[in-house]
């Protein structure tokens, strides 16, 4: 990781110091995953990283500054991970429906892999505007990458506003996956139950929303009456 001076951390200049601070950040991240914000302290980070407390205070002013540094460290790593996964050339030639299904799964597995540290970061957003601002920016960048890939097939979407439709789909996916993984809670429940079913259901739902040629209209209850049979709704859905 390349360290830079910021409001949160004084960047180390020498290789040895950088390696030491990298160890501090990695240790702090592990403590946050296991215990959350309340359970990690500079003293414990110092002990487990085998770094003097004085050396840590040379880089940060206190616990919140170290938390901010960990957030920057984590978000930089996650950004590189998603950059690799969403490399545009990897998705050349993938037809629309498969692209939607694949991207939903990639997003889901990305969030599940990183759920412990994401929970710790998200738990501080309400209390710390710095954490919230950085989290929102990272989330926006992630969604922009997904949306850019989805918009490759904009001409195939039946929604009159593909940009709105793809953004809506990402919001739905984010909300459903975050709820299932308990990303907004400090103590998660078992996230293994029905995981693959959720991913499959989301993929089918979003592909139907973007690709179905059935005119659902805007009226409440449209399609619930006898006319739905004549419109081919159930038969069309079964083919998607």
Q: Where residue 53 sits, what CATH number does that domain have?
A: 1.10.10.60
The answer as to whether 174 is a domain residue is yes
Domain count within the chain: 2
The answer as to whether 34 is a domain residue is yes
What is the spatial distance between Cα 90 and Cα 83, in angstroms, rounded to a whole number?
11
Is residue 56 domain-shared with residue 130, that is, in the same domain? Answer: no
Contact 147, 174 (CB under 8 A): no
Is residue 170 domain-shared with residue 114, that is, in the same domain? Answer: yes
Residue 13: per-residue pLDDT: 64
Is residue 161 domain-shared with residue 96, that is, in the same domain? Answer: yes
Is residue 64 domain-shared with residue 114, that is, in the same domain? Answer: no
Residue 196, CA atoms < 13 Å, CB-side half-sphere: 0
What domain range includes position 96?
Answer: 86-213
Please return the burial class of 151, using the count of CB atoms within 10 Å of its CB with bins 0-12, 13-18 and 19+: middle
Tokens 């993938």 label which residue?
Answer: 94
Residue 184: per-residue pLDDT: 81
The answer as to whether 148 is a domain residue is yes
Is residue 56 domain-shared with residue 105, that is, in the same domain? Answer: no
147: domain CATH number is: 1.10.357
Per-residue b or e along 180-213, where b marks 16 or more CB atoms closer than 10 Å to that residue's CB: bbebeeeeeeebeeebeebbeebbbbbbebbbbe
Contact 9, 68 (CB under 8 A): yes
- Whole-model pTM: value is 0.81
- DSSP annotation of 50 reads T
**Positive or negative CA dihedral for 49, 109, 69, 64?**
negative
Question: pLDDT by residue for the chain (240 residues), tens digit each?
Answer: 445 556 666 766 666 777 889 999 999 999 999 999 988 999 999 999 999 999 999 889 999 999 999 999 999 999 999 999 999 999 999 999 999 999 999 999 999 999 999 999 999 999 999 999 999 999 999 999 999 999 999 999 999 999 999 999 999 999 999 999 999 876 666 656 689 999 999 999 999 999 988 765 544 443 433 343 444 433 333 333
Contact 162, 138 (CB under 8 A): no
Residue 233: per-residue pLDDT: 38
Is residue 102 domain-shared with residue 209, that is, in the same domain? Answer: yes
- In angstroms, what CA-CA distances link 74 with 82, 170, 208, 221, 233? 12, 22, 35, 45, 45
Is residue 90 domain-shared with residue 66, that is, in the same domain? Answer: no
Is residue 40 domain-shared with residue 108, that is, in the same domain? Answer: no
């Amino acid at each position: 990781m390349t360290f830079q001076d910021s409001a949160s951390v004084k960047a180390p200049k020498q290789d040895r110091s950088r390696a030491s601070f990298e160890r501090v950040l990695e240790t702090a991240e592990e403590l946050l995953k296991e215990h959350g914000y309340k359970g990690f302290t500079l003293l414990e980070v110092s002990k487990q990283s085998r770094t003097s407390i004085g050396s840590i205070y040379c880089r940060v002013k206190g616990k919140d500054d170290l938390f901010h540094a960990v957030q920057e460290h984590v978000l930089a790593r996650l950004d590189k991970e998603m950059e690799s996964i969403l490399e545009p050339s990897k998705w050349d030639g993938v037809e629309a429906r498969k692209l939607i299904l694949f991207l939903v799964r990639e997003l889901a597995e990305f969030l599940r892999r990183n759920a412990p540290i994401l929970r710790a970061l998200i738990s501080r957003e309400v209390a710390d505007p710095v954490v919230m601002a950085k989290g929102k920016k990272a989330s926006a960048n992630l969604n922009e990458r997904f949306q850019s890939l989805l918009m490759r097939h904009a001409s195939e979407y039946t929604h009159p506003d593909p940009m709105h439709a793809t953004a809506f789909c990402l919001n739905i996916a984010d909300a459903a996956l975050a709820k299932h993984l308990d990303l907004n809670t400090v103590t998660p429940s078992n996230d293994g139950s029905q995981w693959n079913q959720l991913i499959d259901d989301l993929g089918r739902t979003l592909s139907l929303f973007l690709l179905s040629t059935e005119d659902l209209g805007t009226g409440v209850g449209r399609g619930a009456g006898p006319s739905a049979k004549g419109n081919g709704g159930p038969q069309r859905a079964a083919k998607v």
